[in-house]
Structure 1
Amino acid sequence: MLIKYSDNPFKQVFGIAFYNRKNIFLFTLISIIAVLQYEFGEIFLWNPIILPVVPVTILGGALAIFLGFRNNSAYDRWWEARKIWGGIVNASRTFGIMVCTFSSTNFSKGKVKGKEIKAWRKESIHRHIGWLYALIMHLRNHNHWDELEKYLSEEEIEEIKKMHNKPTQILRLQSEKIQEAYDKNYIEDFRHMELANVIKEFYDLQGMAERIKGTIFPYYYNYFTGVFLWLFVICLPFSLAPEMHWGAIPMSLAISFVFTILEKSGAITEDPFEGRAADTPINTITRNIEIDLLEMIKSETVPAPAEPKIGRFGVKYLD
């Protein structure tokens, strides 16, 4: 999640220009060609290309409609992703509280020892944290096992490595272990049902995130937005040159840059799980959940909160 570009305004401007340098170069080149052919066309005995302003204005209006629709839809996807992970935060805390308070030696009439209950609580919490990191791997198409190996047993790691959808299989393992806990009288029937409902909620939230990840933005919006954008960028300086002469170059560049940034922001926002500066900070959210759950079981190895990252040109963001 992008916090801010930089404390230095010069770095801000330079960074924005650097990441858009190709487009800026092309816009400037097109504008210079349009003005040169208008100013010196008569010298070389050709008729300069002059486009009327009205059609170009209409084209710009159509482009604005496409960009507005796309950006609104992209923001909806980004905001839904944030709400999904907000739901994961709340459900994870609920799950942790249930695991820590629902289990008891009372249901076995003294046959189960307290250390067995404590071990089951720790195992369940660790497995859930493993699910969180597996979900990040799944959404970002990564294959990093370091965090999972900290919280899952070797047998569980070997089992889910063979599976396509690893977070789904971890939730299955969690459900099986909850059933075992019920069979061993760690929990009683009502508490078993409540824990099963929370597992179902995790499945629902995971499915929502997978829906965003797996639903490609309609191709024709991306395609025609790009076509209209470049058609507008090419036509704009040829309509401004007769009115503004050399002033058409900076004006055309500024207008084209604004439309391009709008198009680029929509393209980035529509896929919120890629780990870029503007995406949903699922690593940071997971670390916060990890801290909460480990503190619930009084773990001695609680990690520190995630610090904001500093990217190129002083960009500060949460991963």
Structure 2
Amino acid sequence: MIVRPREHWLRMLFIWRGSVLPRILPQLAAVTGIACLVTVVHGQLYHLKVPLTFVPFTLIGIALAVFLGFRNSASYDRYWEGRKLWGVVLGESRTLARQILTLPHAVDAPEQRQAVLTLAAIAYALRHQLRRSDAAPDLQRLLPPDVFEEVRAARFAPNLLVLKVARQLQGWRQQQRLDALPATEMEPPLARLTDAICGCERLNSTPLPYPYSVIMHRTTYLYCFLLPFGLVDAIGWTTPLMVAFIAYTFFALEALSDELEEPFGTSANDLPLAAMCVMIETTLREMLGGEDLPPAMEPVDYVLL
């Protein structure tokens, strides 16, 4: 996620880091080069004049802008839903930690501490599952060796860890160290935590329909590559400038939609899952008494992972 202060309006025009310009620069340069060539030959191919005007591009451009805006909205909805789901993970982890840490003294403090650290491990396991990375280093320092060995090779480690917490609460209840009422009150946060995990898995495994992306991609590129032929007779030598501006708008919208569509990735505009996990671990360790707080993650070159 890009984290940087709001810049002066003039400086905003020249910002490189945090925009999608580095990603679309090659195709933008190609379109501008074609526009320059079309301007030089005045829209002729082998002495054959291409009979295009700006009228069809006006109609198609309006429709294309509407469809790109719709796709961008759909992608942002996925991004914002992912952020809300991780907000649920944070909130329910805090709720369960508070409930565990305020249990009667019949439950030993080391057991309470390990249950709270398991909640932090759930967040790390979910992050690594969504990003298909190795969760072993984070889980090893938060979990007992036997639990770590059990979940390290699991495909759905967050779900297993939620089950571990539920079984630990069930064990306390069977040993009569936990009353029925507190045990009942802990079930809804566990259920909401499971729902949040399932929601993240749903977003991660169900992208926007691929044919829709292909249609938008083809239409955008064909429009921008043919646009110089429709403008050159009307605006002459300014054709490359206008084509570059219009192509930048359409290419940037498409590139931004692609990044927002997968909110759990590692691109610059995706959710900062690593920073969220550190925040969850920090808040839970503070509830334990502020022991071994992890260092806060800072943006690197304006990017927070």
RMSD (Å), alpha carbons? 2.1
- Taking the TM superposition and a 5 Å limit, the aligned residue runs for 1:54-133 are 54-101=55-102, 103-105=103-105, 112=106, 117-133=108-124
Which residue pairs with 1:38 in the alignment?
42
CA offset at residue 228 of structure 1?
0.9
Equivalent in 12, 16, 20 of residue 15 of structure 2: 12
Tell me how far 1:185 sits from its aligned partner: 2.8
List aligned pairs for 1:163-182, cutoff 5 A.
Answer: 163-182=154-173
- Contact map agreement 1:37 1:49 (CA 8 A) in 2: no
Query: 2:28 matched to which residue of 1?
Result: 24
* Alpha-carbon contact 1:6-1:12 (below 8 Å) kept: no
User: Where does the alignment leave 5 or more consecutive residues of structure 1 unmatched?
Assistant: 106-111, 311-315
CA distance in 2, matches of 1:166, 1:196: 19
Q: 2: distance between equivalents of 1:140 and 1:255?
A: 34
Instruction: Map residues 118-267 of structure 1 onto 2, 5 A cutoff.
Output: 118-267=109-258
Aligned residue type for 1:32: C
User: For residues 146 and 211 of structure 2, what CA distance do their matches in structure 1 show?
Assistant: 46
Q: 1:304, CA displacement in angstroms?
A: 2.5
Deviation digits for residues 175-224 of structure 1 (CA, Å, limit 9, x no counterpart): 11111121223321111112222211110111111111111211122011
Q: Paired residue for 1:271?
A: 262
Deviation track 1:3-40 (CA, whole Å, cap 9, x = no partner) reads 2389776972487654332112211122022212217x
Post-superposition offset of 1:242: 0.7
* Match status 1:317 vs 2:297: no
Asked whether the equivalents of residues 71 and 266 of structure 1 are also in contact (C-alpha less than 8 Å), the reply is yes
Query: Does structure 2 conserve the Cα–Cα contact (< 8 Å) formed by 1:30 and 1:234?
Result: yes
Match 1:303 to one of 294, 297, 303? 294
Write the letter of the residue equivalent to 1:87: V
Query: CA–CA distance in 1 between the matches of 2:284 and 2:46?
Result: 78
1:94-119 CA-to-partner distances (Å, cap 9, x unmatched) read 11100100x213xxxxxx5xxx6101
Measured at CA, do residues 317 and 5 of structure 1 come closer, stay the same or move farther in structure 2, by a change above 3 Å?
A: farther
* CA distance, structure 2, for counterparts of residue 160 and residue 11 of structure 1: 48
Q: Is 8-17 or 283-292 further displaced after alignment?
A: 8-17
Q: Tell me the equivalent position of 1:109.
A: none
Q: What is the Cα deviation at residue 87 of structure 1?
A: 1.5
Q: 1:129 to 1:162 in 2, by over 3 A?
A: same
Instruction: Give the deviation of 1:61 after TM superposition.
Output: 1.5
Q: Distance in 2 between matches of 1:286 and 1:162?
A: 20
3-state SS in 2 of match to 1:20: helix
**Aligned pairs, how many?**
301
Counterpart-to-counterpart distance in 1, 2:114 and 2:20: 47
Call closer, same or farther: CA 1:6–1:219 in 2, change over 3 Å: same
> What is the distance in 2 between the residues matched to 1:21 and 1:6?
24
**1:125 shift after superposition:** 0.7
Distance 2:16 2:149 in 1: 49
Mean alpha-carbon deviation: is it higher for 232-241 or for 182-191?
Answer: 182-191
Distance 1:18 1:265, change over 3 A: closer
* Residue in structure 1 matching 2:276, options 251, 275, 285: 285
Structure 2 unaligned segments of length 5 or more: list them. none
TM-score by length of 1: 0.88
Distance 2:22 2:208 in 1: 27
Distance (whole Å) between structure 2 residues aligned to residue 54 and residue 223 of structure 1: 25
- Contact residue 77 and residue 212 of structure 1 kept, 8 A: yes
The change in CA–CA distance for 1:104 and 1:10 in structure 2 (over 3 A counts) is same
SS of the residue corresponding to residue 15 of structure 2 reads helix
